[in-house]
Structure 1
Amino acid sequence: MSTTNAVPVSLAEIARIAGVGRAAVSNWRRRHDSFPTRIGGTDVSPQFSLAEVEQWLRDNGKLKDIGGREFLWPRFEALGSRDESGLAVAEAARRMRAPRARISHSELSAEARELVGEAARLGRSEGQRETFEFLLQRWLETHVRQLSSTPPQLASLMTRIALAVRLGEGEGGLTVFDPACGTGHLPAAAAQEYDGSGLVVLGCERDPALAALASARLGFITEHRDVRTEIATADALREDPFAGARADIAVCNPPFNERDWGYEELATDQRWTHGLPPRTEPELAWVQHLLSHLKPGGTAVIVLPPAVASRKAGRRIRGSLLRTGALRAVVALPPGSAQPHSVSLQLWVLRAAPDSPLSAPPSQDALLVDATHFARPGAREPGPDWDALGSFVLSAVEALDRPDDDLPESAVRVPLLDLLDDEVDVTPGRYTASSTEPSGIELATSWGQLGASLTDLAGQVQYLSKLGFEAETPQATATVGDLVKAGALTLRAGQQPSETAAPPRKTAVPLLTVPDLLMDGTPSGLLLADSAHTIAEEGDVVVAGVIRAFKAWVHEGPPMALGPQLYSLRVDPEKLDAHFLAGCLRSPANGRQAGTHASSSSRVDIRRLQVLQLPLEEQATYAETFRRLKAFEALLTRAEGLGKGLVGDMSDLLAAGGLII
């Protein structure tokens, strides 16, 4: 496969190509004088020529048999434009399935057209669908700050809910509708969940690159099946390409907080049967758009931010949805279920009225399900326990039309009379919190978790208590400022976010501030990802520069914007271990000596913080001990929380009587 000297690759990309860790590539660069020289980037994040790297790996026997995909992707990325690289990936998928097809996107450059041909040939030799999925995933990872996608597990759950709640099996197949399909995660899940014949998938996406990728993805999934797919490129609210079409189920994860959704030009639109959505409630426009496309008895499941359930501006429409029986259930998801990961999003389950004259009148209650307790706190990757979450939610919604069935804990049927008050608040937690009390199984689980935490604590105590220190031996230190000058790390300060409207979900990242740290450490805001603000990436050390919230940690998870008095330190892995650096920095004595001591709100001069001067090999031992100490602290906090919870639950049960003596 031909390559070009103009294509740059990072150390991480070289590691992927060679099938090794990044540290191994750093060692090659340090030990081999013949390793390619840097052509761009910085000393901390250097870039190299892909052609020179490939030749060096082959000459030195470092290239494993991993196929040509890893060499292919950097060339797509080098196209520069997000749209052109996305359209090129979609076009490559089309050419894989139809080798003699002409290029459908005339705006592609000559370089992109050549790359499309090479990708198509590679796909036909190494697996068409596998090659496309690889390129699509790398494209999504590269542009994660500008895009929002629905996790496959959530997409599958939404489809299963819709299939379970719709009335009637229908004859002649199933029609699925998604008016904001992105790269096609939800339509793809629907196609995979439905194993019958006569499937019709209708999707709409206003971004041409996303629409092309969605069409390509569905082409692979529905190949050799009785499926008709149509992905339109349009703004579904302003220019509905499927006006008049009706679907059995609809699934949607729309953009939210978009003020410019067409309020003025759509004021008299016939879709607003429950009322004109206020300018600040675009999500309720999407809700009614979905309802307008449902067949009688059809079901829609939509992802919404939690504020939609309680905002004052939308109460009239929420009331109408409840009175007519259109809003059947609301499910509160745990944080981490989808972007933005810090928010507990909700699923609204909607159903169109059946047209049978013998059908029952609208339901007199709504199902509210609080599934927020399925979060996995402390996990490296965001996301709930999907298996447990899916089983719980499905068991609740499957009982929607069977009022005599028992509901699982944290799910409750709420009479409309209780919901249709001055607020019309359909937030599940408001109604489920007082309806649950710990069961014997839950108490036993909590006692078991506390016992496990205490056992882990004992193990950490055994390790940490045996450590010895040579207090009289002087240790050389360097300040953060010195390390910045030496090129061992880069330092960036967080900024105050500008006073603008809430950013669209597709271009936003969580924003962490000092007040968030003083609460529970969860980012409370959103910020435009393409702004000039400081973004902490995975592996960066984050430091809070105020005495009252002074701490330092290695950031794990998706990118995160930093507010004022927060700092991002990115280390050169050849000189510093990130966990070693964070451990040194968060020493209380370190914060005291670098602070002004004027008050609890005094700032810490980050550049004055001290760091031990140790060889990289010795830093690893310190880093492991720092990690154990942090784990010890986390276990103490967890044990305290479990213990207090058990004391409260046991006190309530004892006060209610019934103790077995």
Structure 2
Amino acid sequence: MPDAIDAPVTLAGIARIAGVGRAAVSNWRRRHDSFPTPVGGTDASPQFSLADIEQWLHAHGKIERIRLRERLWPHYEVLGDRAVMGAALAEAGRRLLAADGVDQAVPVQSSLPEEAAQVVDETVEVARHEGGRETFDFLLSRWLEVHVRQVSTTPIPLGRLMVDIALAVRGDGAGGRSTRTVVLDPACGVGGLLLAADEGMREHGAEANSAALALLGTDVDPVLAALAAARLGFAGACRGGVVAEIRAGDSLRADPQDAEQADIVVCNPPFNARDWGHEELATDPRWVYGLPPRTEPELAWIEHALARLASGGVAVLLLPPAVASRRAGRRIRSALLRTGVLRGVVALPAGAAQPHSVSLQLWILQAPSTVGGAVSGDGLLLLDAATSRGVSRRAQSIDWPRLSGRVLDAVHAHSWSGEHRTGAEEHLPEGCVIIPVMDLLDEQTDLTPARHVPETAMEAQAKLHESWGRLDGLLDEVRSYSRSLAAIALSAGDDVASTVTVSDLDRARALKLWQGQTLPGELLHRDALPDDAVPVVSVPDLILGVWPGSWLAAAEVKEGFSAGSLTVAEPGDVIVAGVERAYRVWVQEDTPIVLGPQLYALRPDPEILDPWFLAGCLRAPANARQAGSHTSSSARIDVRKLQVLQLSLAEQRAYGAAFKELLALEEAFRSVTAVGEDLVRGLGDGLAGGKLRR
């Protein structure tokens, strides 16, 4: 690639080039007058000339030189559009593979913009110096990093675990092996699971299958399909016996791979895709276990995977936890259990894959054998492999070797062939049970592992130990806040402080007031909150204590906000619930939220009003009583009538700091109550069970 070609680069790009954090680059820019000036972008996200940055970094001893592939990536960023960037990278991969004599069909766009075609030429030139696969893998990883919210990928260790599970089950119960193993991913994305299958089969070697391997993949996004094809082409370029065929298409509506039966299906299907073709596919022959409801697209993927399996084939799907318990899917779950095709459900720790906030599940399924006509077994394998019971909202650090070992130990301990193994129950790892199918067929048919796996004595003791530690920490917090707040001296005078209403502040433009609006029920999602979602808060959620109880897709929020049909509160806004029995006031600190009816967003002018001071004044119970209608049990609060003290900004900040500590104390009291209830419950259960050590 000619050195003369320049491109803009962001602060984050400079940090990657120099191998430092973005804060370090900002510090260089602040300390050194010689740091290059921006050539574009905005004040919040400036862009710099790559040539100027390279010269400055070299002159100040930050780098020796920028590698060609690093110099190439900003040229992709200039293309802007995700699809164009991906199509250009896929086309570059196709040309590089063709130059190596690999005939890998890549379903790429028929024509690229002139700028994208030039970047493809530059990529081919760079690859001559730094290697085709190395260059492609580097650019693909950067592309995925930039578009992480739009393109979901399965972590490599999780993909290997899914493949190892499939191989273990198939090896135990498949009977004779064919001379050719077919692995299918009907929603392959950029091909991560198929790569894991390739590696897994290679490690098993002749013991698993010494003959040819066919890797089949489909994705509805032609750009992702093209990238997957190129990626698999590079992975298989150095060895024979592997056929990779990736096609663009909608697997549910018109599967381009329907002519081939698979021995193994591994899939991480898209979550919550309500427009999956429910109406047009109502009479599809794949729905052997029942027509999936419109709100249950994951069950459609399960039945599609079973329809594509050969006799005795195994499917492992990564699914959200709600699939195991939603009422709408009970009938199909019952059918999967009765026919024996559902063999196991494994709950993974939160953070195992996107969305990182929930404990996802692996569903293990096996197609009936043509010999016996049905799958037999000891029962349904349920494994709660999460590090803590319940759902955590924070991603955890996953110990993948330990997790994989625990899951595979459970899989190997279970009899997938139906032959009873003496002492099999004793070999199951902790958190694992085998439940007879008839015990699960009730009104809910809830297959959530945590509901059926008994808590061990070791887990109970560890939970108690953790709770005592949390209680000690909370009590320290309470004491700290108490000392600080107890030092506050309240005036003993009878002077009445002057106040002003929210309505007056709105008219004076000291703040802006927005009211929440009716929420689009057809667009609301009420399951696990993915990374790119916008939480929705409603008064019923506040009353039930489950907020945020629903969410909207970011694109839907953007469209609704632009059309004026949605009210979106930003970080720094003061939120008020205008109903007496759900009255709450808080400062929104982390992410934007969508407000439902009877909720209000107040955005103070920071030069006039301190947000914590404003929230503290508004949340006073006496203030709410004075502004309430008192006409019924669901009395409303007239937010415009709420009173705010008239103080200078400096005085407001002092009050705001005190209000903030008071709120923290209140939250600490709530946490102490919750932890105390857990301790009383846990100790009570243990003592009632005769577990007191003597």
Q: What's the TM-score bracket when you normalise by the shorter of the two chains? A: 0.7 to 0.9
Alignment partner of 1:148 is 2:152: yes
- Pick closer, same or farther for the CA change 1:137–1:76 going to 2, 3 Å: same
Task: Please state if 1:262 is matched with 2:277.
Answer: yes
After TM superposition, the structure 1 stretch with the greater mean CA deviation from structure 2, 238-247 or 145-154, is 145-154
CA contact (8 A) 1:446 1:642 kept: no
Q: In structure 2, how many angstroms separate the alpha carbons of the residues matched to 1:247 and 1:206?
A: 19
Alpha-carbon displacement from aligned partner over 1:576-611 (angstroms, at most 9, x marks no partner): xxxxx99x6798468659976635975889998999
In the TM superposition, what is the alpha-carbon distance from 1:450 to its structure 2 partner? Answer: 4.3
How is 1:548-567 mapped onto 2 (pairs within 5 angstroms)?
Answer: 548-552=583-587, 554-555=589-590, 565=599
CA distance in 2, matches of 1:125, 1:585: 61
14-23 vs 391-400, which moves further:
14-23
Q: Amino acid of the residue matched to residue 425 of structure 2?
A: D
**Pairwise CA distance, 1:420:** 3.0
Correspondence for 1:82 = 82
Distance 1:641 1:594, change over 3 A: closer
Partner of 1:221: 235
Partners of 1:209 and 1:635 in 2: CA distance: 50
The higher radius of gyration belongs to 2
Distance 2:16 2:602 in 1: 26
Q: SS in structure 2 opposite 1:218?
A: helix
Aligned to 2:501: none
The answer to whether the 8 A contact 1:67-1:126 is kept is: no
Specify whether residues 166 and 219 from structure 1 end up closer, same or farther in structure 2 by C-alpha distance, changes over 3 A only: same
Measured after TM superposition, the shift of residue 250 of structure 1 is: 0.8
* Aligned position for 1:162: 166
- Is this contact kept in 1: 2:351–2:394, CA < 8 A? no
* Residue 479 (structure 1) aligns with: none
Is 1:283 aligned with 2:311? Answer: no
Using the TM superposition, name which of 513-522 and 640-649 deviates more.
Answer: 513-522
**Which residue number corresponds to residue 683 of structure 2?**
650
Please report how far the alpha carbon of residue 36 of structure 1 lies from its aligned counterpart in structure 2 after TM superposition: 1.9
How many correspondences in the alignment? 632
Residue in 2 that maps onto 1:191: 198
Q: Whole-Å Cα distance in 2 between the matches of residues 492 and 13 of structure 1?
A: 38
Residue aligning to 1:326: 341
Aligned-partner Cα distance in 1 for 2:383–2:89:
40
- 1:58/1:281 Cα in 2 relative to 1: closer, same or farther (>3 Å)? closer
Cα distance in 2 between the residues matched to 1:508 and 1:360: 41
Over 3 Å counting, the alpha-carbon distance change for 1:93 and 1:142 in structure 2 is: same
Aligned counterpart, 1:236: 251
Task: Measure the CA separation in 2 of the matches of 1:569 and 1:74.
Answer: 38
1:212 aligns with 2:212: no
TM-score normalized by structure 2? Answer: 0.73
Q: Is residue 590–residue 609 contact of structure 1 (8 Å, CA) maintained in 2?
A: no
2:551 pairs with 526, 536, 542, which one?
526
Is 1:431 aligned to 2:452, yes or no? Answer: yes
Question: 1:446 pairs with 451, 455, 463, which one?
Answer: 463
Question: Post-superposition shift, 1:214?
Answer: 1.4
Q: Give the 3 Å change call, closer, same or farther, for CA 264–220 of structure 1 in structure 2.
A: same
**Does 1:513 pair with 2:533?**
no
Q: Does 1:417 align with 2:438?
A: yes
Q: 1:25 to 1:256 in 2, by over 3 A?
A: closer
Q: 1:57 Cα shift?
A: 3.3
- Tell me what 1:132 maps to: 136
| Superposed displacement of residue 350, structure 1 | 0.4
- C-alpha separation between the residues in 2 aligned to 1:636 and 1:182? 47
DSSP-derived class of the 1:150 partner: coil
Match of residue 73 from structure 1:
73
* Residue 190 of structure 2 is aligned to residue 177 of structure 1: no
Q: In the alignment, which of 341, 355, 363 is matched to residue 377 of structure 2?
A: 363
Residues 167 and 23 of structure 1, relative CA distance in 2, 3 Å threshold: closer
User: Matched residue of 1:325: which SS?
Assistant: coil
CA gap of 1:325–1:455, structure 2 versus 1, over 3 A, is same
Does the aligned pair in 2 maintain the 1:145–1:530 contact within 8 Å?
A: no
Distance (Å, rounded) in 2 between the aligned partners of 1:449 and 1:507 = 28
CA deviation profile, 1:473-502 (whole Å, cap 9, x unmatched):
xxxxxxxxxxxxxxxx99999876423345
Rounded to whole Å, the distance in 1 between the matches of 2:357 and 2:73 is: 31
| Equivalent residues in 2 for 1:112-131, closer than 5 Å | 112-126=116-130, 128-131=132-135
Q: Is the 8 A contact 1:173 1:196 kept in 2?
A: no
Q: What SS does structure 2 have at the residue aligned with 1:273?
A: coil
Which residue in 2 is equivalent to 1:25?
Answer: 26
Find the aligned partners of 1:58 and 1:150 in 2 and give their Cα distance.
36
Aligned amino acid, residue 686 of structure 2: L
The code of the aligned residue for 1:80 comes to G
Distance, in Å, in 2 between the alignment partners of 1:495 and 1:541 is 20
1:484 aligned partner: none
Residue aligning to 2:310: 295
Deviations 1:100-133 (A, max 9, x none): 8999643211111111222333345445445434
Name the SS for the 2:152 alignment partner: coil
CA distance, structure 1, for counterparts of residue 264 and residue 661 of structure 2: 50
Give the stretch that moved more between structures: 178-187 or 596-605: 596-605
Partner of 1:61: 60
| Aligned partner letter, 2:199 | Q
SS in 1 for 2:163: helix
Secondary structure of the corresponding residue to residue 398 of structure 1: helix
Q: Does 1:499 align with 2:521?
A: yes
Q: Please list every run of 5 or more consecutive structure 2 residues that lacks an aligned counterpart in the other structure.
A: 206-211, 491-510, 629-634, 651-655
1:424 Cα deviation after fit? 3.6
- Taking the aligned partners of 2:85 and 2:459, their CA distance within structure 1 comes to 51
- Does residue 392 of structure 2 align to residue 393 of structure 1? no
Paired residues for 1:6-25 under 5 Å: 7=8, 9-18=9-18, 19-22=20-23, 24-25=25-26
Write the letter of the residue equivalent to 1:163.
Answer: L
- 1:326–1:85 distance in 2 versus 1, CA, 3 Å: same
Instruction: Quote the offset at 1:206 in angstroms.
Output: 1.4
Are the aligned partners of 1:3 and 1:51 in contact in 2 as well (CA < 8 Å)?
Answer: no
What amino acid is aligned across from residue 366 of structure 1 in structure 2?
Answer: L
The runs of 5 or more residues in structure 1 that have no matched partner are 473-488, 576-580, 615-621
CA deviation profile, 1:599-643 (whole Å, cap 9, x unmatched):
5975889998999989xxxxxxx99x9999999999887776555
Shift of the 647–260 alpha-carbon distance from structure 1 to 2, 3 Å rule, reads closer
Q: Judge which range, 262-271 or 250-259, deviates more.
A: 262-271
> How well do the aligned residues superpose, as a CA RMSD in angstroms?
5.4
Give the whole-Å Cα distance in 1 for the aligned partners of 2:284 and 2:548. Answer: 38
Q: Is the 8 A contact 2:356 2:394 kept in 1?
A: no
Structure 1 residue aligned with 2:653: none
SS of structure 2 residue aligned to 1:64: coil
Contact 1:166-1:297 within 8 A present in 2 as well: yes
**CA–CA separation in structure 2 for the residues paired with 1:399 and 1:647:** 36
Contact 1:145 1:509 in 2 (8 A): no
Q: Which moved more, 1:94-103 or 1:84-93?
A: 94-103
Match of residue 481 from structure 1 = none
Mapped to 2, the partners of 1:571 and 1:189 lie a distance apart of 53
Q: Distance in 2 between matches of 1:587 and 1:49?
A: 41
Q: CA deviation at 1:363?
A: 3.3
Correspondences of 1:302-313 after superposition (within 5 Å) = 302-313=317-328
Mapped partners of 1:310, 1:75: distance in 2: 47
Task: Supply the AA of the counterpart residue of 2:377.
Answer: S
**2: distance between equivalents of 1:371 and 1:500?**
34
Q: Report Cα offsets for 1:210-257 as digits up to 9, x if no partner.
A: 111112222333342342211111111222222232222211122244
- Hey, what does 2:37 align to over in structure 1? 36
Q: Is the 8 A contact 1:298 1:351 kept in 2?
A: yes
Closer/same/farther in 2, CA of residues 58 and 344 from structure 1, 3 Å limit? closer
Distance in 2 (CA, whole Å) between partners of 1:209 and 1:24 is: 33
Asked if the contact 2:513/2:600 (under 8 Å) is kept, the reply is: no
